[in-house]
């Protein structure tokens, strides 16, 4: 078999395989970084192999499902990061209290002394120093 035939056969085999998506990119790049570190070499290689395998996979519905789960997880992390950043920005102006009854987080302006805080969610009242 000559080279042209070989290439044709190769591209025929992969013609309806799943392509590179964001999840695979993260796996391959993250895996490459992990494989450069001493204690995560095996994990890094596993990530890279999994990322490449996903790219060549022909089970598209399952890969889309994985991508969807990954995007959902990624978005929740981004959202948490932004929330954290916002509360960090306003840390000098507000103090966060946690309701002892329902664990709802309550934001109170700082430097108002000893105050009675009433929970917006469950109505419980407790003392706090802002
Ligand atoms: Zn409460």
Which residues sit with Cβ closer than 5 angstroms to ligand 1, an ion?
99, 101-102, 104, 119, 121-122, 124
DSSP secondary structure letter of residue 108: E
Q: Is the pLDDT of residue 8 over 70?
A: yes
Q: What's this model's pTM, rounded to 2 decimal places?
A: 0.64
Tell me the CA–centroid distance for residue 76 and ligand 1, in Å.
24
Q: How confident is the model at residue 1 (pLDDT cuts 50, 70, 90)?
A: low
């Amino acid at each position: 078999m000559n080279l042209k035939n070989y290439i044709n056969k190769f591209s025929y085999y992969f013609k309806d395989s799943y392509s590179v998506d964001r999840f695979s990119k993260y796996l391959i790049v993250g895996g490459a970084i992990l494989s450069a570190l001493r204690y995560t070499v095996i994990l890094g290689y596993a990530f890279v192999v999994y990322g490449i395998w996903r790219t060549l996979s022909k089970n598209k519905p399952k890969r889309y499902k994985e991508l969807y789960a990954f995007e959902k997880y990624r978005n929740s992390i981004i959202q948490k990061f932004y929330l954290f950043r916002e509360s960090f920005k306003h840390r000098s102006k507000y103090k966060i209290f946690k309701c002892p009854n329902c664990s709802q987080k309550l934001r109170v302006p700082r430097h108002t002394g000893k105050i009675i805080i009433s929970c917006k969610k469950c109505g419980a009242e407790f003392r706090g120093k802002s």
